Amino acid sequence: MSRTRTALLAAMALVAGAAGTAIAAVPDDVGAKAIPCTVDYKVQNQWSTGFTTAVTITNNSAAKSSWSVKWSYAGNQTVTNGWNARITQSGTSVTAANETYNGTLATGGSVSFGFNATHSGTNALPTTFTLDGVTCNVDDGGSGPTDPPDPGTPNARVDNPYSGAKVYVNPEWSAKAAAEPGGSRISSQPTGVWLDRTAAIEGVGNNMGLRDHLDEALRQKGSDQLVVQLVIYNLPGRDCAALASNGELGPTEIDKYKTQYIDPIKAILADPKYASLRIVTTVEIDSLPNLVTNTGSRPTATPECDVMKTNGNYVKGVGYALNKLGDVGNVYNYVDAGHHGWIGWDDNFGASATTFKEAATAEGATVNDVHGFITNTANYSALKENNFTINDNVAGKSVRESKWVDWNRYVDELSFAQAFRNQLVSVGFNSNIGMLIDTSRNGWGGTARPTGPGATTSVDTYVDGGRYDRRFNTGNWCNQSGAGLGERPQAAPAAGIDAYVWMKPPGESDGSSQFIENDEGKGFDRMCDPTYTGNPRNNNNMSGALPNSPLSGHWFSAQFQQLMQNAYPAL
């Protein structure tokens, strides 16, 4: 993938930072008309402990009555005072917003401000600027002036694709939901479209293919903005720690993944017909975290995961997908980040972020191809546990010592997603990445929902009596008994969170409770058997699975009814 302008800007910034000289942030040969905005950041004066900077913004998009520019530093630069803008800083991230007297910014108009700052060491200039969430100094896809134009939207990517947009309602899922007693209450909710095998691109049997969904999305869009949510899910050796969601490609079939799966998807998404859609891709659920938690000498390791770590095809596959799909100007890539009950432990937290960075810079991809991350996809971890915190102590013990928390540093998905976002930025991902949280099955409502903390007799009675999540263990993932629908899909619900989403369509099974012959490559996993007593991945607890479940992805009416019954907030 070409990133000519971005690379040139970064190189210029590093040179200027080392020399302490002023530069223009945009080279002369970059066509300004293709760029939604430019930021000219000049260090006017620099000394051993500080510097003075002048910043000029030029707006090439629609006129504005207010504006906000953001950037991040690679070092310890700290703004001390500024003029002609209200400047705030959090960590390495800086925001400069207009004063009351200079909020108007016409199309083609410019505005300037300045500031003083302290620093030590190298004063590397920022390489990425956004104006009201839109990346400046690059065109839609970042192509260089000699590159062919990127296919996709004529508008630059926005900071949060869900803001101000409708989200696609899959008519196939909607019809199944509406056919259930009471299902019409949620059948108009948006859900993810799973491309879980090559045949799904064209459509299996009478099912809609990718173009069918995109055509329907255009119809639903009308004159509004609309997000389409796609799940990219067909890695070689897929889901190496489970059997219910094994895929069609063997561990070594990386070339088939590239040429027969990712390339055809990219070709369809790049059709200019679909350039007005905001296409959110959630990339390879349950893949990269397995390389951290289920390999090597860990008791949770599997031979299949060791194979995938050794051959590198998870990393290569994710990198290739990010690279190719990231070339399409209206695609927003979100990488799977597991959930708090998987990578929230000290041993897994930092190592997972490092592994994700490795994948995001493999096969020609860069961190600019990653718009954000998604947690809790197809899982059941509660969004927010209100009856206890990780900092509580009961009967002389920390909550972390309880059997349920088991030394994890997080007790719910929201706290985990926000903390993990910071970790991802610290290893080199862009500071404006956003998180998605799948809330399709984590409501845990109904009569079993506690209304307050448990008894303080012991740390276990305290946690177990107060927790919303009623699973036997956070490692339980298959068709969980007692689960309910969670928060309805919504944009920007919390700091750092782009949206709550229903990426996993409620009512679709996680796996069969007994072996079922099939031609979909799906095995039988005992974690879907309600009589199974467990393994090291769930601390040898009962599976907690519902009985009589069909193959993964197939409709499971009993589960759907349970999810509605136990919904929180209630339907």
Tell me the H-state helices in 312-360.
313-326, 340-343, 346-360
- Mapped onto helix, strand or coil, the DSSP state of residue 143 is coil
User: Could you write out the DSSP letters of every residue in 243-262?
Assistant: STT--SS-TT-HHHIIIIII
CA distances from 69 to 151, 302, 432 (A): 27, 47, 12
C-alpha–C-alpha distance, residues 72 and 50, integer Å: 17
Give residue 381's Cα distance to chain centre: 16
Q: Identify whether the C-beta of residue 213 lies closer than 8 Å to the C-beta of residue 170.
A: yes
- Mapped onto helix, strand or coil, the DSSP state of residue 399 is helix
Q: CA nearest 490: which of 479, 480, 482, 500?
A: 500
Per-residue b/e over 246-265, b at no fewer than 16 CB within 10 Å?
bbbbebebbebbbeebbeeb
C-alpha–C-alpha distance, residues 183 and 268, integer Å: 32
Residues with active-site annotation: 286, 510
Q: Which two tokens stand for residue 460?
A: 């276990």
C-alpha–C-alpha distance, residues 355 and 290, integer Å: 10
Q: Identify whether the C-beta of residue 153 lies closer than 8 Å to the C-beta of residue 275.
A: yes
Q: Identify whether the C-beta of residue 275 lies closer than 8 Å to the C-beta of residue 154.
A: yes
Give residue 71's Cα distance to chain centre: 21
